[in-house]
Amino acid sequence: MTRKFVPYANEADVLTIGGLTIENRLDRITIDGDIDLTMDKAGLTHARELYQLLGAAVARLEAQQDLPATLPAPQVKKVGNPFG
């Protein structure tokens, strides 16, 4: 990863790996998109980036003493179009 992405650290970081978009939140990480881990140097780079990201997420989750069984789905608010 080219810049530091600390899982569950903030509500602002977004990381792109191949065709994946990874969004940071305080209580979840959202991964959207698709990726081909091709049998070449580009595939190896993407695999290493995913491995690093998921390893950091697992370490953070394992360090949390009071993990709930599940979290509720995030609340979604609809807001008016400020341009319309």
Q: What is the pLDDT of residues 23-75, one digit of tens each?
A: 999 999 999 999 999 999 999 999 999 999 999 999 999 999 999 999 998 88
pLDDT score recorded for residue 2: 47
Band (4; pLDDT cuts 50, 70, 90): confident
For residues 2-17, average pLDDT:
90
Domain boundaries of the chain, sorted by first residue:
14-63
CA distance 4 to 16: 12
Going from the C-alpha of 25 to that of each of 30, 31, 48, 69, 84, the distances in angstroms are 8, 11, 22, 18, 29
pLDDT score recorded for residue 3: 61
pTM, two decimal places: 0.81
